[in-house]
Amino acid sequence: MRKNILITGASSGLGAGMAREFAARGANLALCARRTENLEALKAELAASHPDIRVSIKALDVCDYERVFTVFRAFRDEFGTLDRVIVNAGLGKGKSLGTGYFYANRQTAETNFVAALAQCEAALEIFREQGEGHLVAISSMSAMRGMRGNITTYAATKAGLAALAEGIRADVLGTNIKVSTIFPGYIRSEINEKVKNTPFMVDTETGCRALAKAIEREPAKACVPAWPWVAVGFLMRHLPLKWVARMG
């Protein structure tokens, strides 16, 4: 069992939901995010529900790249080891390119890719020193193809993260460092709370339970929940772009 788990973007949504799931499985948790008041509340909740685990929290804006390394190392020193790092922090801002929203698309690109790169670098430094560990990159089903409109940049960043994770996996083949890329489908969270009437949407608890279960298998790649997203992923990769565009 991976005992000490670090989760970024843990103050709400999928990050907080996965923290609850791994706490129920007996894991110690290193949780970081910008909103420390949410982390404090989550820590109190988990301490009350699971008094036998350790929960540590730290403020972290993942776009403060140097602090990413500082926080990850501090958690490692506190727990002794980091057994799994879940790169989860993300942003969903964006508009069609050329419509005056470069600032929003840039923020999404920096948070979802450059900051994710920093998190992967920080995790891999620790794992290489330890000689083992499990890196988990939370991508998105939108990474399967180029998407239109509001999620063009978001989808591109998540595709970039998936490619980054696969490159890391190739780099550490034959070692005790494992890398998993997770492609969540529609799971209700803060990032999509305003989206209505979405097919196949599952609630946060159901989705996070499926995420934790998939992560614990340590697959190279996984679409979550498996149904219907494995089938949807196949269609997204093979249908003509004009059909895929209707999914955006």
Mean pLDDT of 24-43: 97
State the pLDDT at residue 240: 86
Where residue 246 falls among pLDDT bands split at 50, 70, 90?
Answer: confident
Helix (H) or strand (E) holding 14: helix 13-24
**155, pLDDT greater than 70:** yes
**193, pLDDT greater than 60:** no
Q: Tens digit of pLDDT for each residue in 57-96?
A: 999 999 999 999 999 999 999 999 999 999 999 999 999 9
Mean pLDDT of 163-179: 98
State the pLDDT at residue 238: 87
Q: Tens digit of pLDDT for each residue in 5-21?
A: 999 999 999 999 999 99
Residue 236 CA to chain centroid, in angstroms? 21
Mean pLDDT of 172-177: 98
Give the predicted TM-score (pTM) of the model. Answer: 0.94
**CA distances (Å), 197 to each of 189, 202, 214, 244, in order?**
14, 12, 26, 18
103 catalytic? Reply is no
The answer, yes or no, to whether the previous bond of 51 is cis (omega within 30 of 0) is: no
Where residue 197 falls among pLDDT bands split at 50, 70, 90?
Answer: low
**201, pLDDT greater than 60:** yes
The CATH number assigned to the domain holding 84 equals: 3.40.50.720
Candidate list 65, 101, 154, 186, residue with the active-site label: 154
What phi, psi does 188 have (nearest 5°)? -60, 125
What are the DSSP E strand ranges found in the chain? 4-8, 28-33, 55-59, 84-87, 133-138, 177-184, 221-224
Domain count, the chain: 1
**192, pLDDT greater than 70:** no
Q: Which has more confidence, 150 or 188?
A: 150
Provide the residue range defining the domain that includes 200.
4-247
Alpha-carbon distance of 227 to 246, in angstroms, equals 20
Looking at residue 71, its amino acid is V
